[in-house]
Structure 1
Amino acid sequence: MTTRDRLRDLFRQRALQFGDFTLASGKKSSYYVNSKKVLFHAEAITLLGEELYAATADLTFEAIGGLEVGAIPMAAAALTAFHRHGRALEGFFVRKQAKSHGSQELVEGQVSKGDRVVVIDDVLTTGGSVVQAIKAVEAVGATVLRVVCICDRLQGAREALAGYDYRPLFTIRDFGIEPS
């Protein structure tokens, strides 16, 4: 079994829930992909790091990260994998809103003007959350080379990311679900 196959199986077993849900996009859904049920599992986070490495290893970039909360463990997994492969890399996360104290920055970590970055997210529906992260790192002066998510629900994210190199690791179809 490949790393990707095992990661897909863990997501199918641990993250998929069925019922009545309201998504971050405001859309209603009969299923929910709760990535946190997988992102805090030792085997899954290790496999995810390797898959994020594989999805970005062809790029030369300085940092990887995305919107809090989902992108934080993802960035840590990617950083660990890059280190194992002998490549230095910084991580970051984007706050949904700046803190009222301290540095009051939206982007936390080492991202500077001129940096090339990869923006990551766990599950995308319309892409609104990842676009928020992209805007924040671009406002710092960084260039987004690629956007990677774990699961694309196939409900508008690709269209919202037109003009960006967008690569989901999985789509909802990989989990046996047709988008609604």
Structure 2
Amino acid sequence: MTPRDRLQILFRERALQFGDFTLASGKKSSYYVNSKKVLFHAEAITLLGELLYEATADLDIQAIGGLEVGAIPMAAATLTAFHRHGRPLEGFFVRKQAKEHGSKERLEGQVKAGDNVAVIDDVLTTGGSVVQAIEAVEALGARVLRVVCICDRLQGAREALAKYDFRPIFTIKDFGIEPPKN
């Protein structure tokens, strides 16, 4: 069994929920992918780190990260995988809102103008959340070389990210779910 196959099983068993849900995008859904049920599982986060490494290893990037909260454990897992492979890499996360105290930074981590980065997120519907992270990175003068998510719900994220190299590890179809027809 491949790491991707095993992670798919863990997501199916731990993250998929069925019922009546309102998503971050505001859309209603009969299912929810609660990635936090997987991101804090030892085997799953190790597998995910390796898959995110594979999804970005061909890039000359200095950092990887995305919007809080989901991207934080994802970035940590990826940094660990890069280290295991003997490659240096910085991590970062973007706050939904800048703090009112301390440095008042919206982007936390070692990203600077001219850096090449990969932006990651857990589950994408319309792509609105990941676009917030991209905007914060680009406002610093860094370049987004790739956007990777764990699961694309196939409801507009690819279109919102059309100018980026977008690579989901899974789509909702990998879990036997057909996206709603618009």
Q: Structure 2: which amino acid aligns with 1:109?
A: G
TM superposition shift of 1:129: 0.2
The match for 2:143 is 143
The match for 1:86 is 86
Aligned pairs for 1:27-38 within 5 A:
27-38=27-38
Counting aligned pairs with the same residue, the percent is 85
TM superposition shift of 1:34: 0.1
Q: Distance in 2 between matches of 1:136 and 1:21?
A: 28
Deviations 1:15-38 (A, max 9, x none): 000000000000000000000000
Runs of 4+ with deviation above 2 angstroms? none
Q: Distance in 1 between matches of 2:113 and 2:105?
A: 14
Using structure 1 for the length normalisation, give the TM-score: 1.00
Aligned pairs for 1:37-116 within 5 A:
37-116=37-116
The match for 2:133 is 133
Q: Distance in 1 between matches of 2:168 and 2:5?
A: 15
The match for 1:21 is 21
Q: Distance in 2 between matches of 1:162 and 1:4?
A: 25
Matched, 1:3 2:12: no
TM superposition shift of 1:106: 0.7
The match for 2:174 is 174
Q: Distance in 1 between matches of 2:12 and 2:84?
A: 27
Q: SS at the partner of 2:151?
A: strand
Q: Distance in 2 between matches of 1:106 and 1:145?
A: 20
Q: Structure 2: which amino acid aligns with 1:2?
A: T
The match for 1:152 is 152
Q: Distance in 2 between matches of 1:104 and 1:162?
A: 31
Q: SS at the partner of 2:97?
A: coil
Q: How many residues align?
A: 180
Structure 1 alignment gaps of length 5 or more: none
Q: Structure 1: which amino acid aligns with 2:159?
A: E
Q: SS at the partner of 1:51?
A: helix
Deviations 1:108-162 (A, max 9, x none): 0000010000000000000000000000000011000000000000000000001
Q: Distance in 2 between matches of 1:113 and 1:57?
A: 21
Q: Distance in 1 between matches of 2:49 and 2:151?
A: 15
Q: Structure 1: which amino acid aligns with 2:85?
A: H
Q: Distance in 2 between matches of 1:13 and 1:118?
A: 28
TM superposition shift of 1:96: 0.1
Q: Structure 1: which amino acid aligns with 2:6?
A: R
